[in-house]
Amino acid sequence: MDVTRTARTLAGSVAAAAGRVRPGRAGGAPPPQQTLTFTCSPADVLAAVRDAAVWSQVLGDLGRAELVAPGRYRFTPASPADAEGVDTELRESADAVLFDRSGDAPPLVELRVLPAPQDRGTEVELSLDLPVPDLAAGAATFTVLYRLRALLQTGEVPTITPQPSARPAQR
């Protein structure tokens, strides 16, 4: 048995697992990506995500977006309450929309589209570079992408806020 090799493999696995639960990207690893298929066309998806109001709607409880100048967008997280917005610049290509931060930081938002097979619409890949552990970032990215698909396909974002319950805050 190659103990050294086994130990290295084990250490690599532990490091990878740690990278999924600790904030920040280890070794410049890309942010988690989520992919869903939308029934609408690639053009419709790309057009929608140029609209800051669409981002605010799909971010919902997570934050908001605003157009601060032509081609310049500010994304502000919902918490903490005094969180500063992140200024970004829209960069587009035929199959992608990216919101770039200044300096060397990777794009805050990277959304790519490609036609889905069998006329199923559009495969949409989304990455959000969020300052949270990968597991949380992955869940948040999935939530945003799921909401975006719902909005584009139905005109609504699914929500249970507000709704009745017997929790003290709602009495």
Partner 1 sequence: MRALVWNGVDDLAVETVPDARLVNPRDVVLRVLATTTCGSDLHFIDGYLPGMLPGDVFGHEFMGEVVEVGPEVRRVRVGDRVVVPSFIACGSCWHCRHEQYSLCDTTNPNAAAQQPLLGYPSGGIYGYTHPFGGYAGSHAGFVRVPFGDVNCFSVPDGVSDVAALFVSDAAPTGFMGADFCEITPGDTVAVFGAGAVGLMAAASARLLGAGRVIVVDRLPERLEKARTVAGAETLDYTAVDSVQEVLRETTGGRGPDAVIEAVGMEGHGTGVQQKLDRAKQALRLETDRATPLREAILACRKGGVVSVLGVYGLTDSFPMGVIVNKGLTLRSAQQHGQRYVPRLLEHVAAGRLDTAALMTHELPLEDAVRGYEMFKEKQDGCLRAVFRP
Site residues for partner 1 per CB under 8 A? 36-37, 39, 120-121, 139-140, 142-143, 146, 149-150, 153-168, 170-171
Beta carbon nearer to partner 1, 28 or 162? 162
Instruction: State which residue, 6 or 165, has the beta carbon closest to partner 1.
Output: 165
Residue 113 CB, shortest distance to partner 1, in Å, is 16
Task: Give CA angle at 49 (43, 52), nearest 5°.
Answer: 145
Comparison of 79 and 163: residue with beta carbon closer to partner 1: 163
**In 39-171, where do the E strands start and end?**
63-69, 72-77, 86-93, 96-100, 109-115, 122-128
| Nearer Cβ to partner 1 (9/153) | 153
- Three-class DSSP category at 105: coil
* Burial readout 130-146 (b: 16 or more C-beta within 10 A, e: otherwise): beebbeebbebbbbbbb
Residue matched to tokens 């970032």? 137
Shortest distance (Å) from residue 63 CB to partner 1: 16
Q: Rounded to the nearest whole angstrom, what is the least distance from the CB of residue 11 to partner 1 in the complex?
A: 25
Long-range contacts of 90-94 (CB under 8 A, 24+ apart): 90/50, 92/46, 92/50
User: What is the spatial distance between Cα 162 and Cα 169, in angstroms, rounded to a whole number?
Assistant: 11
**Shortest Cβ distance from residue 137 to partner 1 (Å)?**
11
Residue whose CB is less far from partner 1, 6 or 37: 37
Query: In whole angstroms, how close is the CB of 27 to partner 1 at the nearest point?
Result: 25
